[in-house]
Structure 1
């Protein structure tokens, strides 16, 4: 049987891996199995639907809660109030935007679509992990002539980002995940924080050196 396909893209800050699931002419394609995103940022998810020809998609939504046979539409979930946007049309399919990400948004996101007389849920979905930034210092004590390693830590791996470091809110030239001070001098004293390029407003808490 010929198949009709609606295509859409998954826009995130990392490389993508295509996962296609479905049977008997039905399916949902997710372009990544997992996403790591920064707290306070925005993420977009989308998919490709596959269904038997002759049918037409009447509606679609994303969810994280509820059983697969009775899920809660994110647009009706109070935990996502005013932070989610659906984009849907016959040309480009269905996309979800989540703004102002919170750590509590870490979950598996699934898409469900409807045709006349049928409904289909794409499994297993996309695993979203939301992290913040924390500066970790390896040296227990700091003395002149010693060495210190500062690392911008996350609870999941942010892919495709450039890290930015600040001392006393002044931008440093280092653009790596770790900042090495060797040897340490009195001029290095101050409060250090890190961010990722393009999301400079989402600074880590400061670490005193």
Structure 2
């Protein structure tokens, strides 16, 4: 009996250790996204390595990972927004993770239907390794919120040669936000949330706007940027400098010629006397 009790105790300890080690962690459990934007749901997991069948430790291997929407357990025939065992997945949902530790999900072109709770589930080659974190991540979708431009400088009048960064932001915190930048109504090639202008030139002056790449309804109010000449602006232009130098050279030549003429006249007068 003592041997059997000891074996039962060790089995319980292995089972408890496996259950404790099995986790899914979401760095944040709620976020918001503007319709048409991209949002990333960071996620890490620790799978159960093994379980005891009463006689030996049986190793476990993760064979399937899933993300579900508005389902507490994310199991069975419940449709998944991502399923590693299925090829029929909406391309808007991109799994950036693996079957080891990373379970990050990215939602592109966010729609109103993404206003929901998302949960990750891991499944092993034995049912003992299946696990779903019921906490999940709540996504709140904001419809067509206007973007706004934030500058790294409080001064809208900057000098030539300085640096400035313009940030396209909204009421939500974005991850890998794709926007369209405009200058005086013309689209720029930059697509990131920040526009870095360095070094500034007179050509950078103008009105800047930004919007989510797939939603012009989010177009921001214009941000006016004026680049002034700066400390070098009061210097005379190059042609004027050349003209002044020429005048100095001519005056110097005339001075030398005049001195030589006077010297020659003095020498002739001395010889005549």
TM-score by length of 1: 0.52
Aligned equivalent of 2:127, options 117, 127, 130:
117
Instruction: Specify which of 201, 204, 208 is matched with residue 217 of structure 2.
Output: 204
Task: Name whichever structure is richer in strand by fraction.
Answer: 1
Preserved CA contact (<8 Å) 2:69 2:116: yes
**Contact kept in structure 2, 1:110 and 1:124, CA below 8 Å:** yes
Structure 1 residue 94 corresponds to structure 2 residue 103: yes
Query: Which secondary structure does the structure 1 equivalent of 2:104 belong to?
Result: strand
Distance between the aligned counterparts of 1:205 and 1:93, measured in 2? Answer: 33
Contact 2:95/2:106 (<8 A) preserved: yes
Query: Which among 16, 25, 28 is matched to residue 24 of structure 2?
Result: 28
Taking structure 1 as reference, are residues 201 and 123 closer, same or farther at Cα in structure 2, changes over 3 Å only? same
> Residue 97 of structure 2 contacts residue 104 of structure 2 at CA under 8 Å; is this kept in 1?
yes
TM-score by length of 2: 0.41
Deviations 1:47-73 (A, max 9, x none): 221233332211111001445254321
Alignment of 1:54-65 (within 5 A): 54=50, 55-65=60-70
Give the whole-Å Cα distance in 1 for the aligned partners of 2:63 and 2:43: 16
Structure with larger Rg? 2
Name the structure with the higher helix share: 2
Following superposition, the deviation at residue 108 of structure 1 comes to 0.8
1:1-209 map, 5 Å? 24-54=20-50, 55-66=60-71, 68=73, 69-70=75-76, 71-75=78-82, 81-90=90-99, 93-115=102-124, 116-118=126-128, 119-131=130-142, 132-134=144-146, 157-158=172-173, 169=185, 195=210, 199=212, 202-204=215-217
Q: Which runs of 5+ in 1 are unaligned?
A: 3-22, 136-152, 172-193
8 Å contact kept, 1:28–1:122: yes
